[in-house]
């Protein structure tokens, strides 16, 4: 169990913002932080990993106090057992893939875990290459492997998949789920992608203006469970066209554009840019606004 209570003033684009998070995270769960850019998601991860100090706060991880500003406790990032996958991967260009992983070992530690990770994350063929020669997805895998060498109690991923195309994305989601289970990790992930969140996470925190505004299972938060659909997709609403008393919605789902008919009440509720769930029961698609 991870108990988090943090207060920090942030300078956001919209002026000063108070980051005020007070929550718990179950051991072994996969949590997603969801929200617009600049609401403090990355800051939360940086505070958890010790890279940033909040003005006031307390972080207790499985009974160990990492941070308690009242008692003056603030463990350095080196002493906290966290794995962090950075948005820009932060692979060290002067080392090969294998050396990047070995760098994370403690002095004199057995390097078995490195070989083990190279196998699990299928880096065999890449292990002697320098990071600059790798593609985005490959770099991502190396960064993931490197973050696991220290056997962290929390794995944090800062928008790990946002820069990748949908195919590689899907594969990497599988890797993350795989290591999450295999290493019995508590994983915290930042993501904007609704389908990714629904596929991967147990718990969702929606963050707005430095505060958690909704939390729960992704399907509860996005409120689509009651639809009981046969198949469903999420996408972005690109265009609304009014034709007589019907509305025609153009929705981007993955790489495809889909046109769906909506009735007047649905059409009036929606605006371009909304995230939308399209589900189908038998023949008529059902649409539902998620955010």
Partner 1 sequence: MIDWSPLILTFKLAVITTFLLLLISIPLAYWLAYTKLKIKPIIETLVSMPLVLPPTVIGFYLLIAFSPSNSFGEWLHEFLGLQLVFSFEGLIIASIIYSLPFMVHPIQSGLSNLPASFLDASSVLGKSNLNTLFKVLLPNIKPSLLTGIVLAFAHTIGEFGVVLMIGGNIPGKTKVASIAIYDEVEALNYATANTYSLILFALSFCILLTVYLINGGYLKQIYK
- Note whether 22 and 205 are within 8 A (CB): no
102 counts as binding partner 1 under rule CB under 8 A: no
The CB-of-44 to partner 1 minimum distance in angstroms stands at 15
For partner 1, which is the closer residue by CB, 51 or 120? 51
135 counts as binding partner 1 under rule CB under 8 A: no
Q: Which of 43, 49, 187, 203 binds partner 1 (CB under 8 A)?
A: 49
Q: Which of 10, 12, 51, 75 binds partner 1 (CB under 8 A)?
A: 51
Q: Which of 2, 149, 179, 204 binds partner 1 (CB under 8 A)?
A: 149
Q: Which of 10, 65, 68, 86 binds partner 1 (CB under 8 A)?
A: 86
**277, β-bridge pairs:** 234, 288
For partner 1, which is the closer residue by CB, 150 or 232? 150
Q: Which of 11, 71, 76, 255 binds partner 1 (CB under 8 A)?
A: 76
93 counts as binding partner 1 under rule CB under 8 A: yes
Phi, psi for residue 252 in degrees, rounded to 5? -95, 120
Q: How far is CA 63 from CA 5, 27, 53, 58, 177, in A?
A: 15, 11, 20, 12, 25
* DSSP track, 66-109: EEETTTTEE--GGGS-EEEE-TT----TTS-HHHHHHHTSPTT-
DSSP three-state, residue 221: helix
Q: Which of 12, 75, 104, 238 binds partner 1 (CB under 8 A)?
A: 104
Q: Where are the alpha helices (DSSP H) in the chain?
A: 41-49, 97-103, 112-120, 136-148, 166-182, 194-200, 218-221, 264-269
The CB-of-51 to partner 1 minimum distance in angstroms stands at 5
The CB-of-26 to partner 1 minimum distance in angstroms stands at 23
| Residue 2 CB coordination number (10 Å) | 20
Question: Shortest CA distance to 227 belongs to which of 218, 219, 216?
Answer: 219
The size of the interface with partner 1 (CB under 8 A), counted in residues, is 26
- 37 DSSP 8-state letter: T
CA distance 14 to 237: 26
- Note whether 224 and 218 are within 8 A (CB): no
Region of 87-95, 120-128, 168-176, 208-216 interacting with partner 1 (CB under 8 A) = 87-95
The CB-of-229 to partner 1 minimum distance in angstroms stands at 41
Question: Shortest CA distance to 93 belongs to which of 123, 127, 130, 61?
Answer: 130
For partner 1, which is the closer residue by CB, 50 or 235? 50
183 counts as binding partner 1 under rule CB under 8 A: no
For partner 1, which is the closer residue by CB, 76 or 112? 76
Q: Which of 11, 13, 15, 88 binds partner 1 (CB under 8 A)?
A: 88
Contacting residues toward partner 1, per CB under 8 A: 46, 49-51, 76-80, 82-84, 86-88, 90, 92-94, 103-104, 106, 146-147, 149-150
């Amino acid at each position: 169990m991870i108990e988090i209570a943090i207060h920090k003033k942030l300078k956001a684009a919209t002026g000063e913002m108070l980051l005020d998070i007070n929550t718990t995270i179950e051991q072994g769960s996969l949590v997603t932080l969801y929200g617009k850019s600049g609401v403090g998601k990355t800051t939360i991860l940086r505070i958890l990993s010790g890279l940033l100090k909040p003005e006031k706060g307390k972080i207790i991880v499985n009974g160990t106090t990492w941070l308690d500003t009242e008692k003056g406790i603030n463990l350095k990032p080196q002493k906290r057992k966290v794995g962090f996958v950075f948005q820009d991967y932060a692979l060290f260009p002067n080392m090969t893939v294998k050396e990047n992983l070995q760098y994370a070992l403690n002095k004199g530690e057995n390097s078995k875990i490195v070989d083990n990770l190279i196998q699990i994350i299928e880096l065999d063929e890449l292990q002697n290459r320098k990071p600059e020669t790798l593609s985005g997805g490959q770099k991502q895998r190396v960064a993931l492997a490197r973050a696991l060498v220290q056997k962290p109690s929390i794995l944090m991923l800062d928008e790990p998949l946002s820069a990748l195309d949908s195919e590689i994305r899907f594969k990497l989601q599988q890797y993350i789920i795989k290591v999450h289970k295999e290493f019995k990790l508590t994983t915290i992930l930042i993501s904007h992608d609704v389908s990714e969140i629904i596929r991967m996470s147990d718990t969702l925190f929606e963050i707005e203006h430095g505060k958690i505004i909704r939390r729960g299972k992704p399907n509860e938060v996005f409120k689509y469970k009651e639809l009981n659909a046969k198949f469903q997709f999420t996408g972005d609403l690109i265009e609304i066209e009014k034709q007589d008393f019907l509305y025609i919605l153009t929705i981007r789902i993955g790489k495809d554009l889909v046109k769906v008919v909506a009735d007047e009440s649905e059409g009036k509720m929606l605006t371009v840019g909304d995230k939308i769930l399209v589900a189908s029961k038998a023949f008529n698609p059902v649409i539902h606004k998620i955010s």
